[in-house]
């Protein structure tokens, strides 16, 4: 078995409206969040999950209070890499904050679920605002070198994509074999409280789905699946990993 190491590379941090992360919990409150590139260090292919983002892009969408921490070049540079060195980008979903800087990864193939790409290119009116590009005339998910998949798929030994719909039609998560057990980068817009509700909220639901939803029932079932299988859960917007170099 190949063991991998996950490096969370935080590109942006700042508060977000809590109900955008935790459905119907925390109305009017803020929660610390972050945007990441997740570099999966392994023996062969150079893999990242999502592409990073900028505070400017997020603020342009009305998400205030965001602060840049580092660019993809700076973050990957700590491991002797550039975005153009990356072989594979696994895209959790195609909301712009997860694919905004795709153009930097000139050599990579982008692994995406068929359902997700179809929805991004031809969205239902209810979900369309989530795929709206920022203040740019192009959509960052168009004209990429895609490998389109359907459902779960092994990417390399020790790294597997899992279809976990609900936040969007084709949200996917990434299961990684590490020396400390199976770690799953959960692809829906969530923080730790979604999986580990506080005393004040866990009596309402044992798990809390994302506040931005395509299908709440699918979203919940996806969370149950990950909670049952993973030894380490990495929600993609949890600020817990901003200052961690290695998972």
Domains of the chain: 5-241 (3.60.15.10)
Q: Distance between CA atoms of 93 and 99, rounded to whole angstroms? A: 8
Q: For the residues 102-108, what does the mean pLDDT come to?
A: 97
Nearby residues of 134 by Cβ (< 8 Å), 6 or more positions away: 57, 58, 60, 61, 96, 100
**Is residue 77 very low, low, confident or very high in pLDDT (cuts 50, 70, 90)?**
very high
Q: Distance between CA atoms of 141 and 103, rounded to whole angstroms? A: 9
The whole-number pLDDT of residue 57 equals 87
The whole-number pLDDT of residue 172 equals 98
Q: How far is CA 65 from CA 12, 17, 75, 203, 204, in A?
A: 10, 11, 21, 31, 30
Beta bridge mates, 162: 173
The whole-number pLDDT of residue 46 equals 97
Higher pLDDT, 126 or 81: 81
The whole-number pLDDT of residue 133 equals 67
Give per-residue pLDDT as tens, 160-202: 999 999 999 999 999 999 999 999 999 999 999 999 998 767 6
Indicate if the pLDDT at residue 224 is higher than 70: yes
Give per-residue pLDDT as tens, 124-159: 998 888 888 665 666 788 899 999 999 999 999 999
The whole-number pLDDT of residue 55 equals 93
Q: For the residues 217-236, what does the mean pLDDT come to?
A: 98
Q: For the residues 12-39, what does the mean pLDDT come to?
A: 95
């Amino acid at each position: 078995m190949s063991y991998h190491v996950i490096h969370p590379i935080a590109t942006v941090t700042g508060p977000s409206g809590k109900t955008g992360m935790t459905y119907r919990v925390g109305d009017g409150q803020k929660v610390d969040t972050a945007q990441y590139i997740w570099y999966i260090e392994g023996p062969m292919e150079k893999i990242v999950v999502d592409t990073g983002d900028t505070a400017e892009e997020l603020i342009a969408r009305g998400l205030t209070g965001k602060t840049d921490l580092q660019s993809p070049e700076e973050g990957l540079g700590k491991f002797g890499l550039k975005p153009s060195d990356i072989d594979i980008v696994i895209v959790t979903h195609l909301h712009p904050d997860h694919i905004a800087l795709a153009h930097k990864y000139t050599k990579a193939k982008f692994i995406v679920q068929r359902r997700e790409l179809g929805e991004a290119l031809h969205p239902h009116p209810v979900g369309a605002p989530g795929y709206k590009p920022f203040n740019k005339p192009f959509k960052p998910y168009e004209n990429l070198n895609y490998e389109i998949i359907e459902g779960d798929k092994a990417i390399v030994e020790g790294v597997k994509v899992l279809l976990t719909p609900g936040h969007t039609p084709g949200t996917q998560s990434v299961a990684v074999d590490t020396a400390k057990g199976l770690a799953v980068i959960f692809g829906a817009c969530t923080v730790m409280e979604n999986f580990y509700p506080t005393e004040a909220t866990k009596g309402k639901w044992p798990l809390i789905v994302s506040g931005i939803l395509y299908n709440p029932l699918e979203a919940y079932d996806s969370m149950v699946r990950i909670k049952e299988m993973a030894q380490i859960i990495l929600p993609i917007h949890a600020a817990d990993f901003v200052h961690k170099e290695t998972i």
